[in-house]
Amino acid sequence: MLQDKIAQYTKEIEQFTPASAADVENFRLKFLVSKGIVKELFEEFKTVSSEEKRVLGKVLNEFKQLAETKFQESQTQFASAAKVHKREEEDLTLPGDGFQLGSRHPLSLVRKEIVEIFKKLGFIVAEGPEIEDDWHNFSALNFPPEHPARDMQDTFFIKKQEGNDIALRTHTSSVQVRLMEAGQPPFRAIMPGRVYRNEAISARAHCFFHQVEGLYVDENVSFADLKQTLFHFVQELYGEGTKVRFRPSYFPFTEPSAEMDISCSICKGAGCNLCKHSGWVEILGCGMVDPNVLENCGIDSKKYSGFAFGMGIERITNLKYEIKDLRLFSENDTRFLSQFETEII
Ligand code: DAH
Protein backbone atom coordinates (compact mmCIF):
# COMPACT_ATOMS: atom_id res chain seq x y z
CA MET A 1 0.00 0.00 0.00
CA LEU A 2 1.20 3.44 -0.96
CA GLN A 3 0.23 4.93 2.38
CA ASP A 4 2.22 2.35 4.31
CA LYS A 5 5.26 2.85 2.09
CA ILE A 6 5.12 6.61 2.64
CA ALA A 7 4.89 6.10 6.39
CA GLN A 8 7.79 3.66 6.37
CA TYR A 9 10.09 5.87 4.29
CA THR A 10 9.14 8.95 6.29
CA LYS A 11 10.34 7.16 9.37
CA GLU A 12 13.54 6.14 7.64
CA ILE A 13 14.22 9.71 6.50
CA GLU A 14 13.51 11.16 9.91
CA GLN A 15 15.93 8.76 11.48
CA PHE A 16 18.60 9.29 8.85
CA THR A 17 21.77 10.65 10.51
CA PRO A 18 24.62 10.65 8.00
CA ALA A 19 28.13 9.91 9.25
CA SER A 20 29.91 11.01 6.12
CA ALA A 21 29.49 12.77 2.80
CA ALA A 22 29.21 9.31 1.27
CA ASP A 23 26.07 8.60 3.35
CA VAL A 24 24.52 11.81 2.05
CA GLU A 25 25.28 10.77 -1.51
CA ASN A 26 23.70 7.36 -0.91
CA PHE A 27 20.63 9.08 0.47
CA ARG A 28 20.33 11.14 -2.68
CA LEU A 29 20.75 8.07 -4.87
CA LYS A 30 18.12 6.19 -2.93
CA PHE A 31 15.43 8.87 -2.72
CA LEU A 32 15.97 11.73 -5.11
CA VAL A 33 17.30 10.56 -8.48
CA SER A 34 14.97 9.86 -11.38
CA LYS A 35 14.74 6.18 -10.49
CA GLY A 36 14.65 6.92 -6.77
CA ILE A 37 11.90 6.26 -4.24
CA VAL A 38 10.23 9.67 -4.42
CA LYS A 39 9.76 9.29 -8.16
CA GLU A 40 8.64 5.69 -7.69
CA LEU A 41 5.98 6.66 -5.18
CA PHE A 42 4.70 9.41 -7.49
CA GLU A 43 4.40 6.78 -10.25
CA GLU A 44 2.47 4.55 -7.91
CA PHE A 45 0.30 7.52 -6.93
CA LYS A 46 -0.98 7.66 -10.51
CA THR A 47 -2.42 4.15 -10.10
CA VAL A 48 -4.45 4.68 -6.93
CA SER A 49 -8.15 5.51 -6.83
CA SER A 50 -9.24 9.08 -6.95
CA GLU A 51 -10.58 8.62 -3.45
CA GLU A 52 -7.11 7.79 -2.20
CA LYS A 53 -5.54 10.51 -4.37
CA ARG A 54 -7.46 13.13 -2.48
CA VAL A 55 -5.96 11.97 0.80
CA LEU A 56 -2.50 10.92 -0.33
CA GLY A 57 -1.69 13.84 -2.66
CA LYS A 58 -0.88 16.12 0.22
CA VAL A 59 0.90 13.38 2.20
CA LEU A 60 3.06 12.48 -0.79
CA ASN A 61 4.01 16.11 -1.42
CA GLU A 62 5.00 16.53 2.20
CA PHE A 63 7.07 13.37 1.91
CA LYS A 64 8.90 14.78 -1.11
CA GLN A 65 9.54 18.02 0.78
CA LEU A 66 10.89 16.08 3.71
CA ALA A 67 13.32 14.09 1.58
CA GLU A 68 14.62 17.20 -0.16
CA THR A 69 15.05 19.21 3.02
CA LYS A 70 16.83 16.36 4.73
CA PHE A 71 19.19 16.03 1.79
CA GLN A 72 20.02 19.75 1.72
CA GLU A 73 20.64 19.92 5.44
CA SER A 74 22.92 16.90 5.35
CA GLN A 75 24.77 18.26 2.39
CA THR A 76 25.62 21.61 4.02
CA GLN A 77 26.66 19.80 7.17
CA PHE A 78 29.25 17.81 5.26
CA ALA A 79 30.36 20.62 2.99
CA SER A 80 31.63 22.64 5.96
CA ALA A 81 32.93 19.48 7.58
CA ALA A 82 34.95 18.83 4.43
CA LYS A 83 36.61 22.24 4.75
CA VAL A 84 37.53 21.74 8.39
CA HIS A 85 38.84 18.34 7.50
CA LYS A 86 41.09 19.74 4.79
CA ARG A 87 42.69 22.26 7.13
CA GLU A 88 43.41 19.54 9.66
CA GLU A 89 45.17 17.59 6.95
CA GLU A 90 47.73 20.32 6.27
CA ASP A 91 51.19 19.19 7.32
CA LEU A 92 52.53 21.89 9.55
CA THR A 93 55.96 20.29 9.69
CA LEU A 94 56.58 21.04 6.01
CA PRO A 95 59.00 23.90 5.31
CA GLY A 96 57.25 27.18 4.44
CA ASP A 97 57.09 28.66 0.97
CA GLY A 98 60.33 30.56 0.46
CA PHE A 99 60.21 34.26 -0.36
CA GLN A 100 62.58 35.92 -2.74
CA LEU A 101 65.52 37.61 -1.12
CA GLY A 102 67.05 40.71 -2.60
CA SER A 103 70.77 40.79 -3.13
CA ARG A 104 73.53 43.32 -3.43
CA HIS A 105 74.20 44.87 -6.78
CA PRO A 106 77.46 43.62 -8.34
CA LEU A 107 78.86 47.17 -8.28
CA SER A 108 78.11 47.41 -4.56
CA LEU A 109 79.78 44.07 -3.96
CA VAL A 110 82.94 45.16 -5.73
CA ARG A 111 82.95 48.64 -4.20
CA LYS A 112 82.69 47.04 -0.77
CA GLU A 113 85.52 44.67 -1.56
CA ILE A 114 87.78 47.49 -2.73
CA VAL A 115 86.97 49.63 0.29
CA GLU A 116 87.60 46.74 2.72
CA ILE A 117 91.08 46.11 1.29
CA PHE A 118 92.10 49.74 1.79
CA LYS A 119 90.45 49.98 5.19
CA LYS A 120 92.79 47.23 6.38
CA LEU A 121 95.69 49.45 5.31
CA GLY A 122 94.36 52.26 7.49
CA PHE A 123 92.51 54.25 4.81
CA ILE A 124 89.35 56.05 5.91
CA VAL A 125 86.28 56.31 3.67
CA ALA A 126 85.37 59.82 2.50
CA GLU A 127 82.58 61.09 0.30
CA GLY A 128 81.79 64.30 -1.52
CA PRO A 129 78.87 65.88 -3.40
CA GLU A 130 77.84 64.71 -6.86
CA ILE A 131 76.93 68.28 -7.80
CA GLU A 132 80.26 70.05 -7.82
CA ASP A 133 81.71 73.39 -8.75
CA ASP A 134 84.44 73.98 -11.28
CA TRP A 135 87.01 74.62 -8.57
CA HIS A 136 86.73 71.20 -6.93
CA ASN A 137 86.21 69.23 -10.14
CA PHE A 138 88.79 71.02 -12.32
CA SER A 139 90.66 74.15 -11.23
CA ALA A 140 92.05 72.97 -7.90
CA LEU A 141 93.11 69.77 -9.66
CA ASN A 142 95.36 71.78 -11.95
CA PHE A 143 93.22 71.55 -15.10
CA PRO A 144 94.24 74.40 -17.38
CA PRO A 145 91.35 76.76 -18.27
CA GLU A 146 91.02 75.38 -21.79
CA HIS A 147 91.42 71.72 -20.92
CA PRO A 148 89.14 69.57 -23.12
CA ALA A 149 87.69 67.71 -20.12
CA ARG A 150 85.86 70.90 -19.17
CA ASP A 151 84.15 70.85 -22.54
CA MET A 152 80.38 70.69 -22.93
CA GLN A 153 80.89 67.31 -24.61
CA ASP A 154 82.10 65.71 -21.43
CA THR A 155 80.52 67.59 -18.60
CA PHE A 156 76.87 67.95 -17.62
CA PHE A 157 76.66 71.57 -16.60
CA ILE A 158 73.94 72.61 -14.22
CA LYS A 159 74.59 76.31 -13.92
CA LYS A 160 76.99 78.62 -15.64
CA GLN A 161 78.40 81.08 -13.18
CA GLU A 162 81.25 83.49 -13.60
CA GLY A 163 84.50 81.63 -12.96
CA ASN A 164 82.92 78.73 -11.08
CA ASP A 165 80.36 76.72 -13.07
CA ILE A 166 78.22 74.17 -11.30
CA ALA A 167 78.21 70.69 -12.87
CA LEU A 168 77.81 67.02 -12.12
CA ARG A 169 81.23 65.80 -11.07
CA THR A 170 83.09 64.02 -13.84
CA HIS A 171 85.37 62.10 -11.47
CA THR A 172 85.83 61.41 -7.77
CA SER A 173 89.13 63.32 -7.75
CA SER A 174 87.02 66.27 -6.58
CA VAL A 175 86.70 64.54 -3.22
CA GLN A 176 90.50 64.68 -2.80
CA VAL A 177 90.28 68.46 -2.96
CA ARG A 178 87.44 68.66 -0.44
CA LEU A 179 89.32 66.39 1.93
CA MET A 180 92.60 68.25 1.72
CA GLU A 181 90.94 71.66 2.02
CA ALA A 182 89.34 70.56 5.25
CA GLY A 183 92.50 69.63 7.15
CA GLN A 184 96.20 68.97 7.20
CA PRO A 185 98.17 65.77 6.43
CA PRO A 186 98.44 62.93 7.04
CA PHE A 187 95.58 61.95 4.71
CA ARG A 188 94.86 58.36 3.93
CA ALA A 189 91.46 58.03 2.33
CA ILE A 190 89.47 55.96 -0.10
CA MET A 191 86.60 57.79 -1.83
CA PRO A 192 83.93 55.81 -3.67
CA GLY A 193 81.17 57.54 -5.62
CA ARG A 194 79.10 58.06 -8.74
CA VAL A 195 80.36 60.26 -11.55
CA TYR A 196 78.74 61.65 -14.71
CA ARG A 197 79.90 62.26 -18.25
CA ASN A 198 78.02 63.41 -21.27
CA GLU A 199 78.52 60.27 -23.35
CA ALA A 200 76.22 58.31 -25.63
CA ILE A 201 75.15 55.12 -23.89
CA SER A 202 76.58 51.93 -25.38
CA ALA A 203 78.02 48.60 -24.25
CA ARG A 204 81.28 50.36 -23.46
CA ALA A 205 80.26 53.82 -22.27
CA HIS A 206 77.59 55.27 -20.02
CA CYS A 207 76.58 58.74 -18.92
CA PHE A 208 77.06 57.77 -15.29
CA PHE A 209 79.39 55.28 -13.70
CA HIS A 210 81.29 54.72 -10.47
CA GLN A 211 84.81 55.37 -9.33
CA VAL A 212 86.97 54.86 -6.31
CA GLU A 213 89.55 57.49 -5.60
CA GLY A 214 92.51 56.97 -3.29
CA LEU A 215 94.73 59.53 -1.65
CA TYR A 216 97.75 59.25 0.63
CA VAL A 217 99.55 62.41 1.68
CA ASP A 218 102.20 62.62 4.37
CA GLU A 219 105.87 63.46 4.79
CA ASN A 220 108.19 61.42 2.55
CA VAL A 221 105.57 59.56 0.57
CA SER A 222 107.22 58.18 -2.57
CA PHE A 223 106.33 56.48 -5.82
CA ALA A 224 107.58 53.24 -4.24
CA ASP A 225 104.80 53.55 -1.63
CA LEU A 226 102.30 54.01 -4.44
CA LYS A 227 103.53 50.92 -6.27
CA GLN A 228 103.61 48.74 -3.19
CA THR A 229 100.14 49.82 -2.04
CA LEU A 230 98.57 49.14 -5.43
CA PHE A 231 100.48 45.88 -5.81
CA HIS A 232 99.07 44.71 -2.49
CA PHE A 233 95.60 45.83 -3.55
CA VAL A 234 95.53 43.69 -6.70
CA GLN A 235 96.90 40.64 -4.89
CA GLU A 236 93.96 40.94 -2.51
CA LEU A 237 91.36 41.64 -5.18
CA TYR A 238 92.43 39.35 -8.03
CA GLY A 239 94.50 36.81 -6.14
CA GLU A 240 98.10 36.15 -5.24
CA GLY A 241 100.41 36.12 -8.24
CA THR A 242 98.61 38.84 -10.20
CA LYS A 243 101.28 40.89 -11.95
CA VAL A 244 101.28 44.66 -12.32
CA ARG A 245 102.97 47.05 -14.68
CA PHE A 246 103.02 50.85 -14.76
CA ARG A 247 102.95 52.82 -17.98
CA PRO A 248 103.80 56.53 -18.04
CA SER A 249 100.71 58.67 -18.58
CA TYR A 250 99.38 62.16 -18.05
CA PHE A 251 96.82 63.61 -15.63
CA PRO A 252 96.79 67.31 -14.72
CA PHE A 253 96.68 66.55 -11.00
CA THR A 254 99.58 64.10 -10.76
CA GLU A 255 103.24 64.35 -11.65
CA PRO A 256 104.57 61.88 -12.59
CA SER A 257 101.46 60.05 -13.72
CA ALA A 258 100.97 56.42 -14.67
CA GLU A 259 98.40 53.92 -15.73
CA MET A 260 98.50 50.57 -14.06
CA ASP A 261 97.84 47.30 -15.88
CA ILE A 262 97.40 43.90 -14.32
CA SER A 263 98.03 40.52 -15.88
CA CYS A 264 94.70 39.56 -17.46
CA SER A 265 92.44 38.10 -14.77
CA ILE A 266 90.71 35.86 -17.31
CA CYS A 267 93.59 34.22 -19.22
CA LYS A 268 96.27 34.91 -16.58
CA GLY A 269 98.44 36.58 -19.18
CA ALA A 270 98.21 33.92 -21.87
CA GLY A 271 96.16 36.12 -24.19
CA CYS A 272 92.40 36.26 -24.75
CA ASN A 273 89.71 38.49 -26.25
CA LEU A 274 89.34 40.51 -23.08
CA CYS A 275 92.98 41.62 -23.02
CA LYS A 276 93.09 41.78 -26.82
CA HIS A 277 95.72 39.04 -26.70
CA SER A 278 98.21 41.28 -24.93
CA GLY A 279 97.97 39.48 -21.58
CA TRP A 280 97.48 42.83 -19.80
CA VAL A 281 94.45 44.93 -18.88
CA GLU A 282 94.43 48.51 -17.67
CA ILE A 283 92.67 49.03 -14.34
CA LEU A 284 93.54 52.46 -12.98
CA GLY A 285 95.25 55.81 -13.25
CA CYS A 286 97.64 57.03 -10.58
CA GLY A 287 100.55 59.27 -9.79
CA MET A 288 102.24 61.54 -7.30
CA VAL A 289 99.95 64.41 -6.30
CA ASP A 290 101.07 67.47 -8.26
CA PRO A 291 102.56 70.10 -5.87
CA ASN A 292 100.18 72.65 -7.42
CA VAL A 293 97.22 70.61 -6.19
CA LEU A 294 98.63 70.45 -2.66
CA GLU A 295 99.17 74.22 -2.67
CA ASN A 296 95.67 74.83 -4.08
CA CYS A 297 94.33 73.00 -1.05
CA GLY A 298 96.48 74.91 1.45
CA ILE A 299 99.08 72.20 1.98
CA ASP A 300 102.82 72.89 2.05
CA SER A 301 104.19 71.03 -0.96
CA LYS A 302 107.76 71.40 0.34
CA LYS A 303 106.92 69.48 3.46
CA TYR A 304 104.39 66.99 2.17
CA SER A 305 104.09 64.68 -0.78
CA GLY A 306 101.51 62.11 -1.70
CA PHE A 307 100.11 59.70 -4.18
CA ALA A 308 96.65 59.38 -5.66
CA PHE A 309 94.85 56.88 -7.79
CA GLY A 310 91.46 56.49 -9.38
CA MET A 311 89.66 53.49 -10.83
CA GLY A 312 86.32 52.73 -12.42
CA ILE A 313 84.27 50.25 -10.39
CA GLU A 314 82.47 49.06 -13.54
CA ARG A 315 85.80 48.18 -15.13
CA ILE A 316 86.99 46.25 -12.09
CA THR A 317 83.63 44.44 -11.93
CA ASN A 318 83.71 43.58 -15.65
CA LEU A 319 87.12 42.01 -15.22
CA LYS A 320 86.09 40.09 -12.17
CA TYR A 321 82.80 38.71 -13.50
CA GLU A 322 83.43 38.88 -17.25
CA ILE A 323 80.58 41.28 -17.90
CA LYS A 324 80.70 42.63 -21.43
CA ASP A 325 77.94 45.24 -21.51
CA LEU A 326 77.93 48.24 -19.18
CA ARG A 327 74.22 48.77 -19.65
CA LEU A 328 73.46 45.63 -17.64
CA PHE A 329 74.44 47.49 -14.48
CA SER A 330 71.57 49.95 -14.72
CA GLU A 331 68.79 47.98 -16.40
CA ASN A 332 67.56 46.19 -13.27
CA ASP A 333 67.12 42.91 -15.13
CA THR A 334 66.70 40.33 -12.40
CA ARG A 335 68.10 37.60 -14.66
CA PHE A 336 71.39 39.48 -14.45
CA LEU A 337 71.17 40.63 -10.84
CA SER A 338 70.10 37.28 -9.40
CA GLN A 339 73.40 35.77 -10.54
CA PHE A 340 75.04 37.64 -7.68
CA GLU A 341 72.70 36.34 -4.96
CA THR A 342 75.20 33.82 -3.69
CA GLU A 343 78.03 36.31 -3.34
CA ILE A 344 79.02 37.06 0.22
CA ILE A 345 77.44 40.20 1.54
N1 DAH B 1 90.25 61.15 -12.27
C2 DAH B 1 90.79 60.27 -13.28
C3 DAH B 1 89.70 59.89 -14.27
O4 DAH B 1 88.56 60.11 -14.00
C5 DAH B 1 91.34 59.02 -12.65
C6 DAH B 1 92.55 59.27 -11.85
C7 DAH B 1 93.79 59.18 -12.47
C8 DAH B 1 92.48 59.59 -10.53
C9 DAH B 1 94.96 59.41 -11.76
C10 DAH B 1 93.64 59.82 -9.79
C11 DAH B 1 94.88 59.72 -10.43
O12 DAH B 1 93.63 60.14 -8.50
O13 DAH B 1 96.00 59.94 -9.71
O14 DAH B 1 90.01 59.40 -15.32
Q: Is the pLDDT of residue 89 over 90?
A: no
pTM of the model as a whole: 0.73
Q: Is the pLDDT of residue 253 over 90?
A: yes
**Same domain, yes or no: 27 and 125:** no
Q: Has residue 9 been placed in a domain?
A: yes
Number of domains the chain contains: 2
Range of the domain at 123: 106-340
Domain boundary among 27, 57, 89: 89
Which atom of ligand 1 has the smallest separation from the CA of 170?
4
> Can you give the CATH number for the domain in which 254 is found?
3.30.930.10
DSSP symbol at 102: P
**Same domain, yes or no: 296 and 177:** yes
Average pLDDT, the chain: 92
**Same domain, yes or no: 118 and 79:** no
Q: How far is the CA of 74 from the centre of ligand 1 (A)?
A: 83
Stretch 197-219: mean pLDDT: 95
**Same domain, yes or no: 47 and 113:** no
**Same domain, yes or no: 145 and 84:** no
**Same domain, yes or no: 168 and 84:** no
Domain boundary among 89, 119, 145: 89
pLDDT score recorded for residue 272? 85
The answer for 271, left when phi > 0, alpha when psi is -120 to 50, beta otherwise, is left
pLDDT digits (tens, 9 = 90+) for 257-304: 999 999 987 888 788 888 889 999 999 999 999 999 999 999 999 999
**Same domain, yes or no: 64 and 154:** no
308 Cβ closer than 6 Å to some ligand 1 atom: yes
Q: Has residue 159 been placed in a domain?
A: yes
To test the pocket of ligand 1, the residue of 155, 169, 173 to mutate (highest count of ligand atoms within 8 Å of its CB) is 173
Q: Has residue 99 been placed in a domain?
A: no
**Same domain, yes or no: 201 and 57:** no
**Same domain, yes or no: 178 and 34:** no
pLDDT digits (tens, 9 = 90+) for 55-68: 888 999 999 999 99
**Same domain, yes or no: 125 and 59:** no
